[in-house]
């Protein structure tokens, strides 16, 4: 069992909301844990809708995580390039990159395990074999997969040195004043919402995003963006920070989210890198997916 004890310093938040934040977990997971008696307030079991008061002692007891085997699954993959050392895939919107709590299967990792068999790097462990870099579930686009540790190390070093090309396209809210620009603002965990990232000076890392306008549509702008660094949710956080959140983003965007987009209108369009074995520069571009093109057509009317 894993036990943590905290003294609540606010006033009026629900127990399930507080527990979810403390555990960096979903609210449904926290609610289930409370219902099973895994969370107490001042030594007593409490309901999930209990309103906490300043000074309340909250003790959370989590069961040991279950170990499970990541299984290969015959899931269709759009492979853009493949050789003995790596492959480049075009991930669809809605697909999770690797298994985690709440998403044990039907991920990109399950698909590439079926396709590659044992030929995947093991640097990131059994849950993320071959994964060199990630994009969010509701972001579509290009990802590199390493088939061996040497390829993984070579690609990861390029990402670390910022010599790796990652170019995105996005539709954002509003009309940007400048035709191009650079956002330089450190990103770290949100101080209150542990599942989110934020521009913050505390426990953060430098983050740099370059952008240029492709087209303007009055209430929306079509952008090309290039990552100099690769922080979690970087483009989504940076664009929201300057007041132009990515359209459809239900985390960093406005409350009145564009539901038909089913997530942010963001596509990882291009990747470029030096092949870790042949040492040749390689670059791959992908067509904008149908959901993206349909939204562009709609806002251009």
How many Cβ atoms from other residues are within 10 Å of residue 255's Cβ?
Answer: 5
Known catalytic residue at 136: yes
* Residue 205 Ramachandran class (φ > 0 left, ψ -120 to 50 alpha, else beta): beta
Q: Which of 162, 171, 153 has the alpha carbon at shortest distance from 258?
A: 171
Q: Which residues lie across from 224 on neighbouring strands? A: 169, 212
| Cα gap 121→201, rounded to integer Å | 34
**Do the Cβ atoms of 253 and 246 come closer than 8 Å?**
yes
3-state SS of 60-114 is: EEECCCCCCCCCCCCCCCCEEEECCCEEEEEECCCCCCCCECCECCCCHHHHHHH
| Element of type H or E holding 239 | helix 234-241
**Do the Cβ atoms of 124 and 249 come closer than 8 Å?**
no
One of 56, 85, 136, 249 is an active-site residue; which one?
136
By the 10 Å C-beta count (0-12 exposed, 13-18 middle, 19+ buried), 235 is classed as buried
Tell me which residues are annotated as active site.
136
């Amino acid at each position: 069992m894993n036990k943590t004890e905290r003294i609540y310093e606010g006033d009026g938040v629900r127990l399930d909301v507080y527990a979810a934040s403390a555990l960096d977990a979903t609210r449904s997971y926290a609610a289930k844990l409370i219902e099973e008696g895994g969370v107490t307030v001042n030594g007593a079991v409490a309901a999930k809708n209990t309103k906490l008061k300043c000074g309340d002692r909250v003790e959370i007891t989590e069961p040991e995580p279950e170990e499970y085997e990541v299984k290969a699954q015959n899931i269709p993959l759009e492979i853009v390039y493949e050789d003995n050392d790596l492959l480049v895939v075009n991930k669809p919107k809605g697909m999770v990159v690797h298994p985690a709590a709440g998403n044990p299967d039907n991920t990109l990792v399950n698909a590439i395990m079926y396709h590659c068999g044992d030929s995947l790097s093991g640097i990131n462990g059994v849950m993320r074999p071959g994964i060199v870099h990630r994009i969010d579930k509701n972001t579509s686009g290009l990802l590199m997969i390493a088939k061996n540790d040497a390829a993984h190390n070579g690609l990861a070093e390029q990402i670390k040195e910022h010599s790796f090309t990652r170019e995105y396209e996005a539709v954002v809210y509003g009309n940007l004043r400048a035709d191009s620009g650079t956002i330089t603002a450190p990103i770290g965990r949100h101080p209150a919402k542990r599942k989110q990232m934020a521009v913050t000076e505390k426990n953060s890392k430098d983050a740099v995003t370059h952008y240029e306008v492709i087209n303007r549509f009055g209430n929306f702008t079509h952008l090309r963006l290039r990552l100099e660094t690769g922080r979690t949710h970087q483009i989504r956080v940076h664009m929201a920070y300057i007041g132009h959140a990515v359209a459809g983003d239900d985390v960093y965007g406005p409350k009145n989210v564009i539901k038909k987009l089913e997530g942010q209108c963001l596509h990882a369009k291009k990747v470029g890198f030096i092949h870790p074995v042949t040492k040749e520069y390689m670059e791959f571009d992908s067509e904008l997916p149908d959901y993206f093109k349909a939204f562009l057509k709609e806002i251009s009317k």
